[in-house]
Structure 1
């Protein structure tokens, strides 16, 4: 079932699985504010039955990042140039960037597990979109890069927090400050990629992972995800208490004593 098809974003749902496709391969799935509005909308319209969301890019690249036309004086047709946006008040500029971030912030919500299927280039906003997901399955031609600093900017699409969480501060700083490419072998070694497969195996690998995620009861996965997502913010004893509370809910539910 097609849920959305606009501005280079195509969203379908089939039972417990939704697929969000970046569908502008002629421009290597370069992103625009319209792309971000469509991605944010995708998160709002997911059917309640969906448990796994797969994010993929059509064509040889996952996403080459922001469409550079956004920085030209005339900007992208129908959009405010970023150069004109910069002339607004602090409040207006903050609100604009916050709106852009909405496209990147729903992928880790507690009721779904999101998988980025990444091939080819994942640069800048593309890298941050892959980082927005819970899991990343990558083809062996993947090339991650955070190019913002080379443009005099910073990564601002909610990508810095998951990047530091995955690879640590020092490596995250080096990746972002140099803008260098991180290729498949390194991505797997440092934890950016959960799995690296051959280019022709990406779709099957994502399907296998999706099936494995759906094999466990939904509530158990939701509770486990919440435990792990909050672990770094809790002390050891707080995490133990959170485990006990979650397990109590699960046991009562299995015994038919839940709410």
Structure 2
């Protein structure tokens, strides 16, 4: 196993990684602030995604301490332009520059659906705003029974903009997504499982073991077959039946060729 030292400054985003064979664990390491996120966090997450190699098959995302992530660092809610990375600074930029800045932030989340990897969020305690969207960015979510997910952005005059809306609608449907985003209410672990947002909810003391068991199961299939299957499942969300059928045929031809040694 290899491990990067805990990030101790905002410039490092409070993100650390550990690699164990085909499994990469990414941990938000700011437990004293409930893993509140800053633009440096998103830059660090983006850098992790950009450094992935083909040997990584599973990425586990965690939050140190008692909460997964309480969302955006409170200091960044300032509307004063002088606060670096704050809402005021973003609002003061020309619209095109603001969009470019947010696009960079989104890249810290979107890579968790990269081809060839399965991402798993291990969620305990609060997952609010950016924290909830980081969990949503993953393919699978395992929740401790004390987990609470909230998307309160609309109540703050904002919108969820860290890739969370597309995944939320895919998982729970349009109507439930509208209700969650516009009311900003918390969704508990049992409801998350019932609606399909989470794979399973377990007592907090069993979270690590449950994630480990899931990761082991995800690594069981042939790597090539797993990648092709994952790509098919992701494309099924946007493809029509004929296009998806064609994608299945093409993928099977590639698998048959691989099995035949061609």
Q: CA RMSD in A?
A: 1.4
Aligned to 2:22: 16
Residues 72-106 of structure 1 show CA distances to partners (whole Å, capped at 9, x for unaligned) of 256897x2432122011111111111111111110
Query: Helix, strand or coil: the match of 2:65?
Result: coil
Match among 138, 156, 172 for residue 177 of structure 2 = 172
- Kept in 1, the 8 Å contact 2:82–2:89? The answer is no
Match among 240, 246, 254 for residue 241 of structure 1 = 246
Going from structure 1 to structure 2, the CA distance change for 1:75 and 1:33 (only over 3 Å counts) comes to farther
Query: Helix, strand or coil: the match of 2:112?
Result: coil
| In structure 1, distance between residues paired with 2:250 and 2:170 | 25
Aligned to 2:123: 118
| In structure 2, distance between residues paired with 1:69 and 1:39 | 20
Aligned length: 256
| In structure 2, distance between residues paired with 1:14 and 1:152 | 42
| In structure 2, distance between residues paired with 1:141 and 1:215 | 30
Query: Helix, strand or coil: the match of 1:63?
Result: coil
Aligned to 1:55: 61
| In structure 2, distance between residues paired with 1:90 and 1:74 | 17
Answer with 67-76 or 29-38: which moved more.
67-76
- Kept in 2, the 8 Å contact 1:3–1:45? The answer is no
| In structure 2, distance between residues paired with 1:31 and 1:141 | 21
| In structure 1, distance between residues paired with 2:128 and 2:82 | 19
Structure 2: give runs of 5+ residues left out of the alignment. none
Aligned to 1:89: 94
Aligned to 2:149: 144
| In structure 1, distance between residues paired with 2:149 and 2:82 | 25
Q: TM-score, normalised by structure 2?
A: 0.94
Query: Helix, strand or coil: the match of 1:86?
Result: helix
